[in-house]
Amino acid sequence: MPCRVVLVTGLRAAVLTGKGYSSDGSEKFWTVTGDNVSAMAFCDVDQDGRNELLVGSDDFDVRIFVGEDVIAEVPEADQFVALAAVVGPRFGYALVNGTIGLYDRLERVWRVKSKHSVCAIASYDLDGDGLPELISGWSNGRMEVRRADTGEVVYRDHLSCPVAAILRADYRNDGMEQVVVCGVEGEVRGYLPLDLEVAPGVAAEVDFSEQQAAVAELAQRKQELMYELASYSNMRQQARDTPTDRGSLIPSDTRVDSYIAINKEAASCDLVLRTSNDSSVIRGVVVFGEQIFDEESLFVYPKNPDTSLAVPLKPLKDVSVVLMIKVLVGGRTATMFHVFELEIELPKFALYAAVDKGAFPEPASSVTFSVSERIPRLCAWVESRFNLKATTAGRNDTLEAYFLCLRDKAPLGIKAVPVAGQVQVTLRTDSLDTAGELVGDLAAYLGLTDLSSTADFPAAMKAFGEVLNAVDEHNITRLRMNADMADASNAAKQLIIKAEDARILADMKAMRKYYRQLADLNRDLIVEHDKRATNHVALLESLREVNQMIQRAARLRVGASKAKVVTACRAAIKNNNMAALFRIIREGDGPV
């Protein structure tokens, strides 16, 4: 019998792991992800002829695995609901916030967002053009079929209840796959691809349905155009009624400048907009940015319009985002405005304010590594990621930069010095997550495929030791309670047998005594079960923290060095060698 590997994830038992099992139940695969796993799919993203494992997690990232190694990570704006391979290196995704979209390799091709929640996605060639489309099911019962290349809707249908799942299967056993859409109330609908060989009546029904959808779409477009035309007519009429009012006009050479500035008092980085002359003021701003705002957009309307406006930005995560901006500019008494469209890139670490050396206590933790690069290249990285002008200092042409994270007031230090023909980089921060973000971003900027490092995080390692002790305690408690439960279960079986024997012998007094004892024992078993459940939850939470520590330690390295850390940590945990585990996290690799 051939070995068939099936990937499974637990609700809380394997919240940070992906496991693979063969047909006989033996474990063939084990790896660690960044957070709770919420979606998985197979897709040949790198087009090497072999499928990679796509894993979407609650930290808004989809990770691409080859074996146990993460070869790429793609950040998104919310938690993942589903992933689905479409064709070749293309795969679709769905998010909790109602967004669906499609990636070609690591580049997003398109995305759309709805006020409704997406429930399921799948791929299928429903229009018969030879290319699969992305099919989505929604909480309002809507089913949509969109082209993979443009996201254009080619077919839609409505169920009477929210969609529960979308499947591909030969449901009718006629040798042809159908798309089966299931509703939460039991409604099931099947769809065949549009084919010239389909019966004329069915083809006519499909054509009529498509015509109805096209007519509805054209009617909506007509209504939008009529509204736009009426708006232009009103504007023209107002211009005729007030021919001498030139308040709505602005100088032809007016421009809007934009830049990012740190606001330490408000603990934010401000998007500053300024017009090029005093006669033009900013009446409003619309800013679009993923992972920056709750609804991905923000409208700011100043009470007292001026030539400049600062829009506070407080990203919850360190992400690099291109902000799309629409600025409404007009005269001070104008009723109509000119719209300026701008784009500006928000640096990944824009919420870090530059400070002088010694302004804050230096972090006790650090990660150190060496790269074959020049100091000016590292300065360029600091300038592009932290939105400041980096400078070199000292006789040996060293780089020193100090920052304060306005999000949590955590200090950060970056130092680079030439050592033995290479540049030794030291990142001082007490946060393992921040250190991992910095190492990964710098490696991507420099194009590094392999990077080892030495990590020194005494506070984090002390807390990790306490977690490992908690795991041992919970395991000991679990084994003891299992033994007690087994003894109590055997006692319950004996009482049941004795009570039944007493019933057969018509000894009602003894039977009642045994059943009273059995009821007391049953209450004790229920109490013990609650204790076991509480201990089990605590054990899983501790194991979750262990897995997170392994992932954080791995993110301090890149490429093969990163994979070695995961493998070595697994081996150390399996052998219960805590000393080796601490050494691996600190040094990156070592004998177990």
Which residue matches tokens 């009624």? 241
Give 91-138 as a DSSP string. EEEEETTSEEEEEETTEEEEEEE-SSPEEEEEEE--SSSSS-EEEEEE
pLDDT score of 73? 83
pLDDT score of 14? 39
Token readout for 280 is 């033009």
pLDDT score of 3? 47
Residuewise pLDDT in 10s, the chain (592 residues)? 444 545 444 443 333 445 555 566 666 666 666 677 889 999 999 888 888 989 998 888 888 888 777 778 888 888 899 999 999 899 999 999 899 999 998 889 999 988 889 999 999 988 888 889 999 999 999 999 999 988 888 888 889 899 999 998 888 888 888 899 999 999 999 888 876 444 455 445 555 556 766 787 788 888 888 888 887 787 677 666 655 445 557 788 889 999 999 988 888 899 999 999 888 899 999 999 887 887 788 999 898 889 999 999 988 888 888 899 999 998 887 777 888 999 999 999 989 998 888 888 889 999 999 999 888 899 999 988 987 754 444 345 788 899 999 988 999 999 999 888 899 999 999 999 999 999 999 998 999 888 999 999 999 999 999 998 998 898 899 888 888 888 888 988 999 999 999 999 888 999 999 999 999 999 988 998 999 999 988 888 888 888 888 888 988 998 888 888 888 888 888 888 888 889 999 988 654 4
**In degrees, to the nearest 5, what angle opens at C-alpha 179 toward C-alphas 176 and 184?**
140
Token readout for 469 is 């002790």
With a CB cutoff of 8 Å and minimum separation 6, the contacts of 314 are 267, 268, 269, 351, 407
Query: To which H or E segment does residue 58 belong?
Result: none
Multiple choice CATH, 352-448, 3.40.50, 3.30.310, 3.30.70, 3.20.20: 3.30.310
Residue 547 — φ and ψ, nearest 5°? Answer: -65, -40
Q: Which of 300, 292, 455, 442 is nearest to 364 (CA)?
A: 455
**8 A C-beta contact, residue 554 and residue 566:** yes
**8 A C-beta contact, residue 499 and residue 515:** yes
Segment 585-590 long-range contacts (CB within 8 Å, at least 24 positions apart):
585/455, 585/461, 585/464, 585/549, 585/553, 586/454, 586/455, 586/456, 586/461, 587/454, 587/455, 588/452, 588/453, 588/454, 588/455, 588/556, 588/557, 588/561, 588/564, 589/452, 589/561, 589/564, 589/565
CA 188/CA 157 separation, integer angstroms: 13
- Locate the domains of the chain by residue range: 7-194, 195-230, 269-346, 352-448, 458-587
pLDDT score of 19? 56
Task: DSSP letter for 24, please.
Answer: T
Which residue matches tokens 């609901």? 81
Give residue-wise pLDDT tens across range 289-343: 887 887 788 999 898 889 999 999 988 888 888 899 999 998 887 777 888 999 9
pLDDT score of 357? 85
pLDDT score of 105? 87
Burial 324-350 (b: 16+ CB within 10 A, else e): ebebbbbbeebeebbebebebebbbbb
Query: To which H or E segment does residue 250 belong?
Result: none
For residue 278, how many other CB atoms are within 10 A of its CB? 9
Token readout for 554 is 């791995």
Of the chain, the end-to-end C-alpha distance in Å amounts to 36
**8 A C-beta contact, residue 286 and residue 298:** yes
What is the residue type of 197? E
Give residue-wise pLDDT tens across range 412-443: 999 999 888 899 999 999 999 999 999 999 99
pLDDT score of 196? 41
Token readout for 123 is 């791929």
CATH of segment(s) 7-194:
2.130.10.10
Same fold: 7-194 with 352-448: no
**8 A C-beta contact, residue 68 and residue 563:** yes
With a CB cutoff of 8 Å and minimum separation 6, the contacts of 64 are 45, 52, 53, 54, 55, 70, 71, 72, 73, 74
